[in-house]
Amino acid sequence: MNQQLFKSAYKIWTGAGATAQLKHEVARLQMNNPLIVSDAIIKQIGLLDEVCASLDEASFGTFLDVEPEPAFSVIEACKKVFLAGGHDGFIAIGGGSAIDTAKAASVYASYEGSLHDFVGTDLVPQKGAPLIAIPTTAGTGSEVTNIAILSDKDAQLKKGIASDYLLPDVAIVAPEMTRTAPQHVTAASGIDAMVHGIEAYLSVNASPITDALALQSITMIARSLPKAYSNSHQLAAREEMATASLMAGMAFGNAGVGAVHALAYPLGGRFQMAHGVSNALLLPFVMEVNKPACLERLKDIADALGEQTSGLSLNEAADRAIMGMTRLCAQVKIPASLKEFDIKESDLKEMTEDASKIERLLKNNPRQLTKAEIYEIYQAAYVGRAQQ
């Protein structure tokens, strides 16, 4: 076994009521005037006030201009607020967009060059201000990863900053923070977490540690997502989803993700598709193309999903994994085809060109895809799973 390094947030709090630990962690990190990074909706539904109340009379500021799939300009704006307010740390409250914004701003605040200098792997020169991440969705796993995904509006592409300096100092994962997530967000973020577990398990960089986290997260999501989707007040299901998302984040944060994410980048960049939706829509089609390279692992995934594989050949068992994921996506009403997003078939060639350049992710895939195979996946997703 090759030497491997496992990375995560420095400290992780989980379970109902875990946000009560926030004031203690703020004090431990010597934050005297943190900047809370969130969005207007989190403020509107009262989650922000709940968390802020736990800070007692501590001084803090807010940046509420986070947007879905945050652009580089959002990080620039957050940096300005941080510096102007004399802040000394970040508390991110929200989904992956809020956490990624805070992660990027934390290392950018003390840097005088361009934020674009950080795009890629290990290009951030030093750790930034301390950061506490509190997710309000069970999906992205951003609270325990060293990656921030931003939208380059000019290039119409998603771009990633990957650096261990982005790892949060503290992750606080409390299931009650996800209870107000709309049904479609619960679905998209939940399948996004499933994608993280599946791609981590299929990654060429998988290890026994990431395998254990990935497979267990798949089992937990398959069991709990339909319950959390159908009834937002099922706290037990939401707690299991929050924990599974965390575990999947720890798995892919170390093993990496593959072709599903690479092919999703142009969908977000060009057509502003939500990250979780694009991943969910593409997943069954990427699994189909990957199948010859990972039959045994797809059987393991089928078992984790609760599919019956006894007496089946490896190929048949692998098909059960794809069928199981297709059913789960349909059950939580993930859109069935790219056509539903006003994407034209003529767009697929440019999307293929864009996706083929995401080598940071494609190199993790169990099968090294040609442009023709990437185009084949987009074509299948364009037709849609209902017609497959």
Q: What is the rounded CA–CA span in Å between residue 201 and residue 210?
A: 7
**Which of the residue ranges 56-70, 81-95, 166-180 would you say has the lowest mean pLDDT?**
56-70
3-state secondary structure of 364: coil
Give the per-residue pLDDT at 386: 47
221 and 338 in a common domain: yes
Digit-coded pLDDT (tens) for 135-160 = 999 989 999 999 999 999 888 888 99
Where does a domain end: 155, 178, 201?
178
121 and 224 in a common domain: no
Asked if 138 and 190 count as a contact pair (C-beta separation under 8 A), the reply is yes
Q: What is the rounded CA–CA span in Å between residue 21 and residue 54?
A: 9
Instruction: Tell which residue, 278, 76, 25, has the closest CA to residue 157.
Output: 278
Give the per-residue pLDDT at 388: 39
232 and 153 in a common domain: no
Mean pLDDT, to the nearest integer, of 216-242?
A: 94
188 and 216 in a common domain: yes
Strands, E assignment, the chain: 11-14, 35-37, 61-63, 90-94, 120-121, 131-135, 147-152, 157-162, 170-173
3-state secondary structure of 30: coil
pLDDT of 1 > 80? The answer is no
Tokens found for residue 341: 């997003």
Give the per-residue pLDDT at 233: 82
pTM greater than the 0.85 cutoff:
yes
373 and 239 in a common domain: yes
170 and 112 in a common domain: yes
Give the per-residue pLDDT at 207: 95
Give the per-residue pLDDT at 256: 95
Helix (H) or strand (E) holding 18: none
Mean pLDDT, to the nearest integer, of 332-354?
A: 92
pLDDT of 234 > 50? The answer is yes
Give the per-residue pLDDT at 3: 80
Q: Give domain status of residue 280, yes or no.
A: yes
**Which of the residue ranges 6-10, 122-126, 196-200, 269-273 would you say has the lowest mean pLDDT?**
269-273
Q: Give domain status of residue 224, yes or no.
A: yes
Asked if 237 and 294 count as a contact pair (C-beta separation under 8 A), the reply is no
Where does a domain end: 119, 154, 178?
178
Mean pLDDT, to the nearest integer, of 54-67?
A: 88
Residue type, 8: S
Mean pLDDT, to the nearest integer, of 262-290?
A: 91
Asked if 149 and 262 count as a contact pair (C-beta separation under 8 A), the reply is no
Question: Residue 52's domain is classified under what CATH number?
Answer: 3.40.50.1970
213 and 133 in a common domain: no
Question: Residue 283's domain is classified under what CATH number?
Answer: 1.20.1090.10
319 and 238 in a common domain: yes
Full residue range of the structural domain in which residue 81 is found: 11-178
145 and 187 in a common domain: no
Asked if 314 and 299 count as a contact pair (C-beta separation under 8 A), the reply is yes
Which pLDDT band holds residue 360 (cuts at 50, 70, 90)?
very high
Q: What is the rounded CA–CA span in Å between residue 196 and residue 275?
A: 12
pLDDT of 387 > 50? The answer is no
Q: Give domain status of residue 93, yes or no.
A: yes
> Domain count of the chain?
2
Tokens found for residue 348: 């697929």
197 and 151 in a common domain: no
Give the per-residue pLDDT at 54: 83
204 and 114 in a common domain: no
Asked if 257 and 199 count as a contact pair (C-beta separation under 8 A), the reply is yes
Name the average pLDDT for the chain: 93
277 and 173 in a common domain: no
pLDDT of 134 > 90? The answer is yes
Asked if 269 and 161 count as a contact pair (C-beta separation under 8 A), the reply is no
Give the per-residue pLDDT at 2: 73
Residues of the chain above pLDDT 90, percent: 84
Where does a domain end: 178, 202, 237?
178
pLDDT of 350 > 90? The answer is yes
